[in-house]
């Protein structure tokens, strides 16, 4: 049976109809889903400006402008795979430990039967339980982390689980492949040189935003693909990897970031890699101007879904 796709915008205006991502069906409206989009509106782990709990709905609203054919990748993702929106998962906003457990359990449930999950945050705390779930499905995973910040710090005010600590905890728990870890787009001041020393000890390579500028997209992609190989790959994207000119609506903006064009072209360079899941976090619409940030996030999500759908179709063809 052919996948159920988005509402036809030639018959129903984009501002009407379904409110799911790209106006796709809800998960409970389809028999199965190859790719699921879900929101985790949790932001109790932030260290500066809150508001990312409203990110999932802002991304969905901006996604109403997306169209079903992706010319950059020459695919119609919603024809290649059944994509559905699971809506938002309610998590405890007052208990970080309980919230992390709930997110992991939900991610495991949503990825049954080899379903791939694209998650909308929420703050970057949610990456840890998502990685836990991915590792239970695939073993320790390669990680591409797009962010202005390292997010490998130890604690804040004695708290071990915040949006600045998920990848240190992931390293300590052995759920990421230390031979295939990379930050992309990092920049800005740090607390000290030890931040970088710890990060290297965990196994991370760093491609700064300046590296992307000087080396260009093609060389950046080549280096990252070489590091990843054919390992199961998880992609985690903090929207503040983009320069504030391209993503003002986020909690901890840093000057000197990459452009929305650069991140889209880098992601498109990962076509054919074994991507098993992804998240987009830290979209905080209260600080957004004219939906610049949520529009960027919706297009990033669209390209991630396109990559996953293309991979799904290739694997289905190989099995036929």
Annotated binding residue 145: no
Annotated binding residue 226: no
Whole-number Å distance between alpha carbons of 19 and 26? 9
- DSSP readout, 67-128? -S-BTTTTB-HHHHS-EEEEEEPP--SS-HHHHHHHHHHHHHHHTGGG-EEEEEES-GGGHH
Contact between residue 180 and residue 170 where contact means Cβ atoms under 8 Å apart: no
Provide the token pair at 302.
């669209």
Q: Can you tell me whether residue 256 is helix, strand or coil? A: coil
Q: Give the residues across from 37 on adjacent strands.
A: 85, 118
Annotated binding residue 238: yes
Q: Give the residues across from 35 on adjacent strands.
A: 83, 116
Tell me how far CA of residue 84 lies from CA of 110, 134, 155, in angstroms.
Answer: 11, 19, 36
Annotated binding residue 151: yes
In the block, residue with structure tokens 């791939």: 116
Q: Can you tell me whether residue 312 is helix, strand or coil? A: helix
Helices marked H in 179-291 — which ranges? 194-202, 209-228, 260-268
Longest Cα–Cα distance in the chain: 58
* Binding-site annotation, residues: 124, 147, 149, 151, 238, 240
* Binding-site annotation, residues for Mn(2+): 124, 147, 149, 151, 238, 240
């Amino acid at each position: 049976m052919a996948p159920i796709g988005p509402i036809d915008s030639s018959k129903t205006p984009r501002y009407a109809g379904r409110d799911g991502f790209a106006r796709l069906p809800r998960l409970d409206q389809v028999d199965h889903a190859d790719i699921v989009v879900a929101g985790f509106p949790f932001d109790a782990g932030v260290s500066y400006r809150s508001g990312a709990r409203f990110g999932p709905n802002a991304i969905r609203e901006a996604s109403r402008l997306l169209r079903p054919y992706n010319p950059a990748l020459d695919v119609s993702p919603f024809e290649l795979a059944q994509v559905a929106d699971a809506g938002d998962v309610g998590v405890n906003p007052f208990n970080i430990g309980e919230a992390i457990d709930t997110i992991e359990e939900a991610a495991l449930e949503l990825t049954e039967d080899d379903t791939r999950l694209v998650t909308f945050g929420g703050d970057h705390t949610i990456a840890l339980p998502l990685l836990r779930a991915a590792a239970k499905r695939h073993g320790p995973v390669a990680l591409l982390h797009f962010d202005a910040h390292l997010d490998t710090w130890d604690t804040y005010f004695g708290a071990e689980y915040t949006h600045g600590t998920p990848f240190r905890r992931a390293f300590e728990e052995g759920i990421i492949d230390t031979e295939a870890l990379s930050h992309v787009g990092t920049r800005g001041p740090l607390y000290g040189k030890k931040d970088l020393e710890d990060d290297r000890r965990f196994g991370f390579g760093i491609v700064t935003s300046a590296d992307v500028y000087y080396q260009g997209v093609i060389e950046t992609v080549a280096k990252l693909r070489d590091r990843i190989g054919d390992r199961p790959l998880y992609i985690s994207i903090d929207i503040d990897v983009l320069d504030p000119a391209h993503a003002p609506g986020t909690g901890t903006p840093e000057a000197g970031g990459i452009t929305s064009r650069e991140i889209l072209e880098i992601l498109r360079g990962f076509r054919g890699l074994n991507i098993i899941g992804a998240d987009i976090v830290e979209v905080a619409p209260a600080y957004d101007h004219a939906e610049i940030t949520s529009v960027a996030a919706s297009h990033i999500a669209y390209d991630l879904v396109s990559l996953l759908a293309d991979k799904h179709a290739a694997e289905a063809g190989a099995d036929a």
